Amino acid sequence: MKRIPIAFLACITSSFAADEWKLPEEKIAFKSAPGADLVQASCIMCHSHEYITTQPPLTRDQWKASVTKMLQKYGAPIVPEKVDALLDYLAQSYGKAVK
């Protein structure tokens, strides 16, 4: 059995430790429109900006089903009186036109 010198192992280990990496900083930038602040305050605590903005375009009713699920199943802290404003923003900014 061949022995590997300890100094060689130390060099390899230290070279791995010297490599640093960082996750890219998330740049939160929702489309500017009334309701953007509400979405940021209500949704970002559980979802990343990218998770919200890269969803397939949904109709207002589809966004409503998603928000209702977040409220009922997961206890999302969304004030009931603000749901319509939230839906308006999501449908107008990240939705698809109802035909």
CA–CA separation, 36 and 68 (whole Å):
19
**Residue 48 maps to a domain:** yes
Q: Which two tokens stand for residue 68?
A: 């209702």
60 found inside a domain: yes
Residue 7, in any domain of the structure = no
0.75 surpassed by pTM: no
pLDDT digit string, tens, across residues 11-37: 555 555 556 778 777 676 899 999 999
| Residue 88 structural domain | 27-94
Task: Report if residue 17 sits inside a domain.
Answer: no
DSSP single-letter state for residue 82: G
Residue 14 lies in a domain: no
In-domain check, residue 74: yes
The maximal CA–CA distance of the chain, rounded, in angstroms, is 74
What CATH number did the domain enclosing 77 receive?
1.10.760.10
Residue 26 confidence (pLDDT): 65
38, two tokens: 């509400």
